[in-house]
Amino acid sequence: MLRKAIAVVVLATAAVFASGTAANALDEPRVPENVGQYFAAGLVPRLVELFGAKAGAEVVFDSAAKVGGIHRVLSWTTRFLSGAKTDEPTRLTNNWVAPVTAADGTIAGVATVWINPASDQPELADFSSGPALATALATAPAGTLIIRDDSRSAWFATDGSTLTPLVSGSSGVSAATTPADYQRQFSLVAPATAEPAPNRGLLIAVLVLGIVVVLLAVFVLLPVGRRRVGAKVALISERVAASGPPLVTEVAAAVTVEVPVTAAVKKAAVKKSP
C-alpha cells in the first residue's frame, strides 16, 4: 500500500509540473494545406524567377534551394496597443514566414507568404534577403509563437507570459520581458490637453479688414486732392500762358516748393505788370 501511495504522489507531482510547462508553451497554429504546398513546391520557383542569377541577385537561387520551418505570424491587437486591459494581446495575421537556404548552404533570407484575398491563393508577399532575420527567428525558444511589430520593425517570440526580443528594431527592448510591461512602455498614450491657441484666422481677418478700410479711405480721398491740385495747376497754367515764357520757370519753382496757388498767381501777376 505504501508503495502504491508513493507512486500516486509521484505521478500527481509529475502531472502538475507537466501541466505548468504546457501552460507556458503555445502550439504553432496549423498551417493551411494550400499554404504548406506553396512553401513546398511554389515558393522556390517564384524566388528563382524574381531573384535568380538572371535577375542579378547576390544569392543564386535554383531548384536545390531549401525552405525551413514555417511559422504563422502574429501581431498586436489594437486594444492591446491602446493600453487597455485585454486577454487577447495578439491576433493571427494572414502571413507565414520561413527561412530559405541556397544550394551552397548560404542563408538567402526569409520569405513571407500570404493568401491573396482576390484569388484566395497563397503567394509570395515579401522576401527579406540576408541571414540576419533568418538567424534571429531561429533563436526563438521552443513552444513560442512569432510576433511582428511593424510599427517598430521588431520581432518577438512569446509563450503567452514571456516576451523574448528576436529583432529589437526601434522598440528598445533588448532582454526578455512580459507583454504587460511592453504594453505599459509602448501603449498609445492620449496626447495631453493643450491650451487653446489664439485664433489666427480671426486676427488675420481683422488685419485684412483694417487694410481694406485704409485703402478705401485713400482711394476716396485721393481723387478729391487730385481734383484740387488739378484745378490749381490749371489756373496757374492759364496765368503763365498769358504771362509769356520767362515766367514758366519761376511759377514751376513756386509749385514745386508747394507755395500756395494763390500766392504763386499773385507773384506771376506782379512780374507781368510793367
| DSSP string over 209-230 | HHHHHHHHHHHHHHHHHHHHHH
Backbone angles phi, psi at 11, to 5 degrees: -65, -40
SS3 letters across 6-63? HHHHHHHHHHHHHHHHHHCCCCCCCCCHHHHHHHHHHHHHHHHHHHCHHHCCCCCCCC
The position carrying cell 502504491 is: 4
Does residue 93 sit in the same domain as residue 173?
yes
**pLDDT beneath 50: ranges in the chain:** 1-24, 188-194, 224, 229, 233, 240, 246-259, 261-262, 264-265, 269-270, 272-273
Q: What is the largest CA-CA distance in the chain?
A: 161
Domain annotation covers residue 153: yes
Does residue 47 sit in the same domain as residue 181?
yes
Q: Show which of 142, 169, 186 is a domain's final residue.
A: 186
Domain annotation covers residue 6: no
- Structural domain containing residue 265: 222-274
Q: Show which of 129, 163, 186 is a domain's final residue.
A: 186
The predicted pLDDT at position 201 comes to 65
- Tens digits of residue pLDDT in 9-48: 334 444 433 433 333 467 889 999 999 999 999 999 999 8
- Tens digits of residue pLDDT in 152-185: 999 999 999 999 999 999 998 999 999 999 999 8
Does residue 136 sit in the same domain as residue 237?
no
Backbone angles phi, psi at 218, to 5 degrees: -65, -45
Length of the chain: 274
Does residue 70 sit in the same domain as residue 157?
yes
Q: Show which of 162, 186, 210 is a domain's final residue.
A: 186
Domain annotation covers residue 123: yes
Q: How many domains does one find in the chain? A: 2
The predicted pLDDT at position 230 comes to 55
Taking each helix axis as running N to C, give the angle between helix 248-256 and helix 261-272, from 0 to 180 degrees, rounded to the nearest 10.
160
Does residue 44 sit in the same domain as residue 173?
yes
Please give the grid coordinates belonging to residue 173. 527592448
pTM of the shown model: 0.60
Contact 67, 147 (CB under 8 A): no
Does residue 179 sit in the same domain as residue 272?
no
Does residue 146 sit in the same domain as residue 270?
no
Half-sphere exposure of 148 (CA within 13 A, CB side): 15
Output DSSP code: residue 121. E
Output DSSP code: residue 29. P
Backbone angles phi, psi at 32, to 5 degrees: -55, 145
Tell me which amino acid residue 65 is.
A
Which value, to the nearest 10 degrees, does the dihedral of the CA atoms of residues 193, 197, 202, 207 take?
-170
